[in-house]
Amino acid sequence: MSGAVNGVTAHRDATSVAPDPGAGPPVLSLRDLVVEFATPAGVVRAVNGMTYDVFGGETLGVVGETGSGKSVSVLAALGLISTPNLRRVTGEVLLGDVDLLTLPTAELRRRLGRDVAMVFQDAISALNPVRRVGDQIAEALRVHDRTLSSTAARARVVELLGLVGVPHPVTRHDQYPHQFSGGMCQRVMIAMAIANRPKVLIADEPTTALDVSVQAQILNLLRVARQETGAGIVLITHDLGVVAETADRVGVTYGGRIVESGDVTRIFTRPRHPYTAALLGALPRLDSASDRLLPIPGQPPDPSELPTGCAFAPRCPISRGRAVCTEARPEPVPDGSGASACHFPDEAASLLTAQADDPPVDQDDPGEPDNDPAPVLDVHDAVARFPVRSGVFARACAWVHAVDGVSLRVPAGRTLGLVGESGCGKTTLARLVLRLVEPTGGRILVDGDDVGKAGRSQLRRIRRRAQMVFQDPYASLNPRLSVGDNVAEPLRLQGLSRGQRRGQVADLFSRVGLRVEHADRLPSEFSGGQRQRVAIARALACAPGLLILDEPVSALDVSVQAQVLNLLADLQRETAMAYLFVSHDLAVIRQVADEVAVMYLGRIVESGSVRRVYDDPRHPYTRALLASVPVPDPVGRADRQRVPLGGDVPSPVNPPSGCRFRTRCPIATDRCAAEEPPLRPVAGGYTACHFAEETVGLAPEVPA
């Protein structure tokens, strides 16, 4: 697709994110970029007047929810959209003096990778699986410098691999992407992007698919890359924490354009657009759990029918139906170091203060749940192993220790949060509870019934009392049944009549905040958040005593996530259901859970009340995790010294001897390799570390 669509009237005056005075000319400017796709449902205007500047040596965070046009704008700017339904790209993309949109493809390509480079989300699939990693980096060098010899290129690639922190660069040079972890692939992508010392580096969700500890490594690396190359970085993300942690300036996107921009501290402390303020209110916090999140009502706008006035008007808490909001599209008005595209920018900050006036109610610390005579869920020493087959006869030659001796209890009306990085066994544990995975050992009781020993009919009864909600509601709903029928399905299996079912479905719909009139629609007609509500409604149909929630909000946007989290909290208050809430997101767990269990390589390394685990973590792993999570608060980020955990989670096939964390633990000793630390009572919680008493005095960056 050639990007040679000539710019129309560019709003040069529409001030974009303005620089600090004296920062020199911007290295990259988007001016009133409009991108449209032709779809069967009509024209989709994915980007609607995106305007921003990036200056050399700075990081511009572009933050916004799904579908707000963050990715499409940069891909269109660089001529990288190749779908045949691209209808129009107008505006200007100025790289220095050149408008990239006017260049023929061949000319444009000469600049890509040399002057402006990109780092993509999901680095594993962004690398060619059949070509050596080193060759792929070398290609970036050699397309722009035909005179470079292959030996010189190789030497430079090895140097680059070392620079981005890939261990053993000489060996790694000749390996293939599938031999790298996700984090290592992202390092390779960064090496490729900085190979030619570009003026601009655009990183589109560079850490979204990664674990927090690896995310922290990659964000550090981007900082190094900026120092090395002096490039201006555009960091596109949906994560306000990542922005607060790394950006100098921020642009907030909504409905295909930047609605507010400015200095990072200003944006987070004195937002001048109600959307920014509302996003901050909807965000679960790691540093302090608020009693209740403030979700933004409704959903992000549909880019195929953008309103004529302000795109945020239908959800805006301060518009109060003022006509100007629905009639005139607010243009960004520069103020101080930034701009706000709102007719009433001064009222936005009041949203934040209003929240601050309403101090978070302290979470009631649970009593000793161990005193509870009969927990709804009682997992005792559960074990799940999977064979790894290989060799000529596909014999099981090794075992994946997915869950290896885990015990937990969840009493009625309480939430146990289970956190850990990918591959630590969280989901397997959740599936064990319903025996969707056959246990290798241990005992799991739901309401006193042994799940492992249950016969067919008893298991069916247990599965009615314990329901599961998955991350991807679309995959768990039957796409050919209406959402009403999906919800009614468990009722039908119970033998309720049609009329009874209708009544109950209506009741369930109103409980989860769905409109009963929509019961006849198909799941595909709903947004992600609504589909998750449907999935929750279906789980509630059998009036279960236990909900197992496996990453239920991970696919949702912040504003919608807050709606679902609040819904779950309300339902729990009404019915005293017990929740087993699995998530990789420590802030979400802090928000929802009473008790927390931290998993690492199939084992629980620390557990206890939320207070104990978050405010007084004793296990070095918990401490490192907490230190890795980006905090959405730029104030004082310079003082937050953090040394991210090195390396990746080891393979659960042959976990390290002794303490499984010892390969990444900064304070490991010989004893840790020899003796496995038991999960033992420490400071009002449980910690599996030989030195749990000594970690408390340690700063987050533990001395080696």
Distances (CA, A) of 601 to 296, 314, 628: 37, 46, 18
Q: Does 39 bind ligand ATP (CB under 6 A)?
A: yes
257 sits near ligand SF4 (criterion: CB under 6 A): no
Q: Does 604 bind ligand SF4 (CB under 6 A)?
A: no
Tell me how many helices (H) and strands (E) the chain has. 24, 24
Identify whether the C-beta of residue 350 lies closer than 8 Å to the C-beta of residue 270.
no
Max CA distance (Å), the chain: 78
What is the SS3 string spanning 417-484?
EEECCCCCCHHHHHHHHCCCCCCCEEEEEECCEECCCCCHHHHHHHHHHEEEECCCHHHHCCCCCCHH
For the sheet with 546-550, list strands across it. 466-469, 546-550, 578-583, 415-419, 595-600, 603-609, 685-687, 680-682
Strand partners, 90: 34
Chain position whose Cβ is nearest to ligand ATP: 46
DSSP 635-662: TTTTT----PPPS-PPPSSSPPSSSTTT
Q: How many residues bind other proteins (CB under 8 A)?
A: 37
Single residue of 83, 147, 151, 371 touching ligand ATP by CB under 6 A: 83
* Least Cβ distance, residue 121 to Mg ion (angstroms): 7
Rule CB under 6 A: choose which of 119, 192, 313, 562 binds ligand SF4. 313
Judged by CB under 6 A, the chain residues 28 through 57 that form the site for ligand SF4 are: none
Specify the stretch interacting with ligand ATP by CB under 6 A; choose among 65-73, 145-153, 543-551, 654-662.
Answer: 65-73
71 near Mg ion, rule: CB under 5 A: yes
Q: Quote the CA–CA distance of 614 and 598 in Å, as a whole number.
A: 11
Both tokens of residue 85? Answer: 């339904």
**Judged by CB under 6 A, does residue 564 bind ligand ATP?**
no
Q: Which of residues 5, 28, 72, 244 is near ligand ATP by CB under 6 A? A: 72
Dihedral angle over CA of 187, 192, 195, 197, nearest 10: -90
Q: Does 598 bind ligand SF4 (CB under 6 A)?
A: no
Q: Which CB, 41 or 106, lies closer to other proteins?
A: 106
Q: Is 624 in the site for ligand SF4 (CB under 6 A)?
A: no
Do residues 251 and 50 lie in contact, with contact meaning Cβ atoms separated by under 8 Å? no
Choice from 390, 478, 657, 669 touching other proteins (CB under 8 A): 390
Nearer to other proteins, 131 or 168 (CB): 131
Q: Of 388 and 542, which has the nearer Cβ to other proteins?
A: 388
Amino acid at the residue 178 = H
Taking CB under 6 A as the binding criterion, the range among 68-76, 437-445, 488-496, 624-632 that sits at the site for ligand ATP is: 68-76
Q: Which is nearer to ligand SF4, 94 or 613 (CB)?
A: 613
Within 118-147, which residues bind other proteins (CB under 8 A)?
Answer: 118, 120, 122, 125-131, 139-140, 143-144
Distance in angstroms (rounded) separating the CA atoms of residues 115 and 107: 12
The answer to the question of residue 240 lying near ligand ATP (CB under 6 A) is no
| 70 counts as binding ligand ATP under rule CB under 6 A | yes
Q: Does 73 bind Mg ion (CB under 5 A)?
A: no
Is residue 665 close enough to count as binding ligand SF4 by CB under 6 A? Answer: yes
The helix/strand/coil state of 392 is coil
Size of the site for ligand ATP (CB under 6 A): 16
Strand-pair partners of 676: none
Binding site for Mg ion (CB under 5 A): 71
Binding site for ligand SF4 (CB under 6 A): 274, 310, 312-313, 316, 318-319, 325, 330, 342-344, 619-620, 659, 661-662, 665, 667-668, 672, 677, 689-691
